[in-house]
Structure 1
Amino acid sequence: MKPTSRRKFIATAATVAAGTAIANAMPTINMESKYPIVHHVFFWLKNPGSVEDRERIIAGLKTLRKIETIKELRIGVVASTEKRDVVDNSWAVSELMFFKDLEGQATYQSHPIHQQFIKDCSHLWEKVIVYDAKDV
C-alpha cells in the first residue's frame, strides 16, 4: 500500500470512528412513546408588528414551565422557511407542549399558573388556535 493511500485510509477510518462515537453518545428522545399527548397553540397578536407584545407573550409562556404536568415545552416564532401554499406563517408565537396523559393536560388547563398567564396576556392576542393530538 502506498504511503498516501495508507494515510488516506487511516484518516478515513478515524473520521468514521469519530462520527460513530458521536452518534452513539447523542441522547435519543422518543417523544411519541414517552409523552403521547401534544398540545400546540398558535397566537396572533392584536399588534402584529409589536416586538414588545410578542416578547411579553413569550415571557408569559415561559412561566408555564413551572407546571409539573408539562413534560416538554417549546416556544417558537415564525421561521423564515420557503413560501409554499401549505405553510401558514400568519401567526406570531406558538407553544408546543407534551404531556404524559390526558389527566396531565387537564391539570395544566386549570392550573393557577396557566390561568394567570391568560389573565396577564390575553389582551395581547387577537386570535388563538389550539391543536391537541394523541399518538396513535
Structure 2
Amino acid sequence: MTNETIDTAALEHGDVFTRPHPFTWVEEGRGDLTVERWRPGAWDITADGPDSAIAACNGLGSVTFFVVSTHKPPGYHERVFFKRQFFTPDGKAYAPSRLMNCVTRKFKRDIEKFPFPFELVEL
C-alpha cells in the first residue's frame, strides 16, 4: 500500500507509507580506510547569505514507514509507534529499522514529504 491508498485520518497497525527521500554520496575516513556510501538526507548546503541556504542531494531513494500502533495517553497528544526503513538510490536497504515514536501530527508530515526543500545534483 502507498500513501494514495490509505486514509491517514485513522492510522492503524499494519499501515505502510512510502515516499521519495534524498540521499547524499559521502566519503568518510575511518582510520586508514576511506569509505564511500549513500547517506540519507540532503547534506550538501550552499548559501550566498543568511536567507539563501539551499540543501542538495546526489540521488533519490525512498523511505518506508510501518505503523506498529497508536496510543493516546490521558493528558497527552496521540503518538504513533512505527518503524522506518530507508532504501538507497540503488535499491539497497540502509541500516536496520528500529522502533520509533512521535506525535501523530508530526508523523503525518513526515510521511508526506522531506521536511525542507532540496535540489538534486547528479554525481
TM-score (norm 2): 0.24
Structure with the higher fraction of residues in strand conformation? 2
TM-score (norm 1): 0.23
> Considering only CA atoms, is the larger Rg found in Structure 1 or Structure 2?
1
Structure with the higher fraction of residues in helix conformation? 1
- Relative contact order (C-alpha < 8 Å, sep 6+): which is higher? 1
